[in-house]
Amino acid sequence: MTESNYDEIMQLLCDRLSGLTNSDAQITPETNMISQLSIDSIKLLNLIMEIEDTFDVSIPINALTDIHTVRELADLVHKIKSAS
């Protein structure tokens, strides 16, 4: 997977997260999705389903337990996409 694909993943995550939160916070790769954006489990699952559809990947739910920042989620998606 190329760097542009990683950038595409990051851009999609930032765009979708800004739509899921009521916060005016600027979303960066270092943004904590839970503490800074108040993303709950339902919103996170909806985001994951959209990511899976968009990038044709399957993200195991247990892989999300250690995910806190936008960058960590992008890294996970990139890793799964690269392996497929």
Mean pLDDT of the chain: 89
Give exposure, 57-75, as e/b (b: 16+ Cβ within 10 Å). bebeeeebeebebbebbbb
Write down the H helix ranges in the chain: 3-20, 41-55, 70-83
Task: For the chain, list the domains and their CATH numbers.
Answer: 3-83 (1.10.1200.10)
Could you tell me if 18 and 47 are in contact, meaning their C-beta atoms sit under 8 angstroms apart? no
- Show the CA angle centred on residue 17, arms to residues 27 and 5, nearest 5°: 85
pLDDT (tens digit per residue) in 46-63: 999 999 999 899 999 899
Its pTM stands at: 0.87
